[in-house]
Amino acid sequence: CLQEPDIVRCVSLSWSRCQVFIKAKMQSDDKRRAHFQNVLPFPGIKTYVDPDTYEDPTQAVHEFTKEIDPSRIRIERVIGAGEFGEVCSGCLRTPGQKEIPVAIKTLKGGYVEPQRRDFLREASIMGQFDNPNIIRLEGVVTKSRPVMIVVEYMENGSLDSFLRQHDGHFTVVQLVGMLHGVASGMTYLSDLGYVHRDLAARNILVDEGLVCKVSDFGLSRVLEDHPEPAYNTMGDKIPVRWTAPEAITYRKFSSASDVWSFGIVMWEVMSYGERPYWEMSNQDVILSIEEGYRLPVPMDCPGVLHQLMLHCWQKERGQRPHFNSLVSFLDKLIRNPTSLLTLVDNR
Ligand code: ACK
């Protein structure tokens, strides 16, 4: 909708320039509307704001993250390779002069602007979250090089490799406790209207007290440089083994498709980091799921947990449980561990 000052401006422009002006104005109004629809669908209820609704993504970084002075960061060692550069461990001096352990994701030199934008996109998503089961963003360094994202340090690294290194070491209640943490984090995200799309044990981090936190909010990884690459018929790259059939086929990503992925994470946890569907090809996984095949119960896994996995893998997404009921169910199992004693005889 053009307002009076806009019309006055139009009169002083030539007609073709005026048309361009009207179009640009309408587009920016649409964007602003989309942005406010994201921010305020229900007044008083916090929702996630997609940084892509900002005309200038740098604005989202300013809004949702804190700039850290690099003199407060001490990098100690490289702990892994991220999609955009090295991941290091180190310390961050807080304003109260305390030092806290942190992980530092760096953007490697020679990047082009879209890579910088994608890299910082994850920070503007993470910066909106505040939950004990979601990895906490400390801040970003954008005003000097290297560009960095600083997050809380998780002593035991990613859940899949942690479980593989400790095969058979935990009680069922401890494993269910880990899953309870993941489900709590996912409840928080789905309540905010955030769909993760890449929930997998490799994207969960574990701290020294075995608390599990959801991480990896860079959607770009799903679409571009993913460790589990496979194309669907629409040409998207998708982590097939973790993804619900409707998301693979029709891009119908939702909290219900995240619940399917959560079922796969349950299976990964109960089998101590086994690869879902083992060496089956992605195409065979898709066909088998379509024919009704589902992953069998892992060794020593209580039947009640496999039943819960099967519930998450219902073909009809409307019939899958919500994350909040998964949390209540897992909570009851932890409080009443006798229900975890019955194993499935799968010999
Ligand atoms: O399995 P890992 O030890 O845990 O190896 C990977 C590596 O960096 C590349 O992603 C580790 N990593 C990532 N974020 C963190 C973090 N916040 N705290 C500790 N380790 C992390 C991850």
Which residue, of 131, 152, 173, is where some domain finishes?
Answer: 152
Instruction: Detail the residues annotated as belonging to a binding site for Mg(2+).
Output: 203, 216
Which residue, of 152, 186, 204, is where some domain finishes?
Answer: 152
Check whether residue 173 and residue 201 sit in a common domain. yes
Rounded mean pLDDT for each run of 10 residues along the chain, 347 residues in total: 42 43 45 45 78 92 98 98 95 94 96 94 97 98 97 98 98 98 98 96 98 86 52 69 97 96 99 98 97 98 98 98 98 95 73
Centre of ligand 1 from the C-alpha of residue 158, in Å: 6
How many separate helices (H) and strands (E) can be counted in the chain?
12, 7
Task: State residue 237's pLDDT score.
Answer: 77
Count structural domains, the chain: 2
Look at residue 168 and give its three-state secondary structure.
coil
Ligand 1 atom, smallest distance to 157 CA: 4
Catalytic, 198? Answer: yes
Assess if residue 260 is contained within a domain: yes
Task: State residue 97's pLDDT score.
Answer: 87
Within 10 angstroms of residue 33's Cβ, the number of other Cβ atoms is 11
Instruction: Detail the residues annotated as belonging to a binding site for ATP.
Output: 105, 202
Provide the CATH number for the domain around residue 67: 3.30.200.20
Centre of ligand 1 from the C-alpha of residue 199, in Å: 16
Q: If you take atom 12 of ligand 1, which residue's CA is the nearest one?
A: 157
Residue 196 lies in domain: 4-37+156-340
Centre of ligand 1 from the C-alpha of residue 191, in Å: 26
Assess if residue 170 is contained within a domain: yes
Check whether residue 148 and residue 186 sit in a common domain. no
Check whether residue 64 and residue 191 sit in a common domain. no
Look at residue 75 and give its three-state secondary structure.
strand
Give me 22's structure tokens.
């009207």
Which residue, of 106, 137, 152, is where some domain finishes?
Answer: 152
Task: State residue 171's pLDDT score.
Answer: 97
The closest of 148, 151, 123 to 136, measured between CA atoms, is 151
Assess if residue 227 is contained within a domain: yes
Check whether residue 215 and residue 327 sit in a common domain. yes
Assess if residue 43 is contained within a domain: no
